[in-house]
């Protein structure tokens, strides 16, 4: 083993630059309790891999972060600073699908199912970017003001909306997810002390940023209920400020700085 390492290092100095090894890892744990379809969905559509590639291309890390797909007790996704692990639970994949599918419709045709798959994939990509923001904030001790959960939502917007039509469709799916959660929320049960903004506020934020990013293209998002005309007037500015903020936060940690790759 030692010899092999020595030979490799001596023969391929250009292939072994000073840059860190890949620090965005991926792992899949075996699904339990009938979550095989969700595990297969993530793998087949390369959901983790695509987000990992996009983040690794943009930002360096001081040490490793692993995205892990796994079975959990609850339907959730989270970043654990103790382990540097982003978890996306198979149960969360199933819950997202149920939510976006709405009422069970046996007459669904293949096109609708393909569209649903696309929206579920989009919501999961957004989740990974959101958790990726927590990881970046933790690893680089990024400075920010306001609520970290809102800052992480803004990072997901910053990533997806700037990817063009597909990213914007995916982001719109998440705006719908929060709208659907909000419609289910009992106003009496809303926890205003929660570290996350209430679902209705997140639904409004997501619509606002998308509307602000593409003036004229998403008029339908200003429905007067979730996103009001009043709020929408400032959305273009909110989107600009959001981008300025994340541009600034990432600048010292951009991949490719100082000749590294
Ligand atoms: Zn979060």
What is the distance in A from the centroid of ligand 1 to the CA of 204?
17
The pLDDT value given to residue 106: 58
Which range, 16-20, 64-68, 100-104, has the best average confidence (pLDDT)? 64-68
Domain that holds residue 226: 16-185+198-256
User: Is the Cβ–Cβ distance between 155 and 128 less than 8 Å?
Assistant: no
Q: How far is the CA of 195 from the centre of ligand 1 (A)?
A: 8
Q: 149 C-alpha vs ligand 1 centroid, how far in Å?
A: 5
Kindly tell me if the per-residue pLDDT of 121 is higher than 70.
yes
- How far is the centre of ligand 1, averaged over its atoms, from the C-alpha of 229 (Å)? 28
Residue 20 pLDDT > 90: no
Q: Quick one: pLDDT at residue 102?
A: 81
Quick one: pLDDT at residue 188? Answer: 82
Residue 258, pLDDT > 70, answer: no
246's CB contacts (< 8 A; 6+ apart) are 154, 155, 158
Residue 191 domain-assigned (yes or no): no
Q: Percent of the chain scored above 70 by pLDDT?
A: 87
Ligand 1 centroid distance, CA of 3 (Å): 45
pLDDT tens-digit series, residues 71-116: 999 999 999 999 999 999 999 999 999 999 885 565 667 777 899 9
Q: How far apart are CA 225 and CA 69, in angstroms?
A: 35
Residue 3 lies in a domain: no
Ligand 1: centre distance to CA 132 (Å): 9
Note the pLDDT of residue 192.
Answer: 84
pLDDT attached to residue 9: 39
- Please indicate, yes or no, if residue 7 is contained in any of the structural domains: no
When pLDDT is averaged across residues 133-137 and rounded to a whole number, the result is: 97
Position 90 in a domain: yes
Tell how far the Cα of 134 is from the centroid of ligand 1, in angstroms: 7
Dihedral angle sign, alpha carbons of residues 251, 207, 189, 100: negative
Average pLDDT, the chain: 87
Dist. CA 18 → ligand 1 center (Å) = 33
* 8 Å CB contact between 56 and 22: yes
User: Is the separation of the CB atoms in 121 and 170 below 8 Å?
Assistant: yes
Residue 190 lies in a domain: no
The whole-number average pLDDT for the span 178-184 is 88
Is residue 1 included in any domain, yes or no? no
> pTM for this one?
0.88
Beta-carbon contacts of 195 under 8 Å, excluding residues fewer than 6 positions away, are 147, 148, 149
Instruction: Tally the domains of the chain.
Output: 1
- For ligand 1, a single-atom ion, the residues with CB < 5 A are 149, 152
Strand, helix or coil for residue 228 = coil
Residue-wise pLDDT tens digits, 183-216 = 888 888 888 888 888 899 999 999 999 999 998 8
In a domain, 9, yes or no: no
Residue 56 covered by a domain: yes
């Amino acid at each position: 083993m030692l010899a092999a390492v020595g030979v490799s290092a001596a023969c391929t100095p250009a292939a072994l630059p000073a840059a860190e090894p890949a620090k965005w890892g991926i792992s899949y744990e075996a699904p339990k309790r009938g979550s095989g379809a969700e595990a297969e969905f993530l793998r087949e559509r390369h959901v983790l891999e695509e987000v990992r590639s996009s983040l690794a291309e943009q930002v360096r890390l001081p040490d490793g972060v692993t995205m892990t797909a796994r079975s959990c007790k609850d339907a959730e996704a989270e970043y654990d600073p103790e382990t540097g692990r982003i978890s996306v639970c198979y149960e969360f994949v199933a819950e997202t699908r149920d939510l976006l599918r709405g009422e069970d419709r046996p007459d669904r045709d293949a096109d609708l199912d393909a569209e649903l798959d696309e929206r579920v994939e989009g919501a999961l990509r957004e989740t990974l970017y959101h958790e990726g923001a927590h990881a970046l904030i933790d690893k680089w001790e990024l400075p920010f003001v306001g609520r970290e959960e809102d800052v992480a939502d803004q990072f997901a917007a910053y990533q997806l909306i700037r990817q063009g039509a597909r990213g914007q469709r995916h982001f719109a799916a998440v705006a719908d997810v929060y709208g659907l959660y909000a419609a289910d929320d009992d106003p009496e049960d809303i926890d205003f002390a929660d570290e996350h903004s209430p679902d209705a506020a997140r639904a409004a934020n997501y619509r606002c940023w998308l509307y602000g990013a593409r003036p004229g293209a998403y008029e339908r998002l200003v429905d007067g209920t979730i996103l009001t005309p009043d709020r929408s007037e400032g959305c273009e500015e909110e989107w600009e400020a959001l981008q300025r903020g994340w541009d600034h936060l990432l600048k010292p940690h951009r991949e490719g700085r100082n000749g590294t790759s």
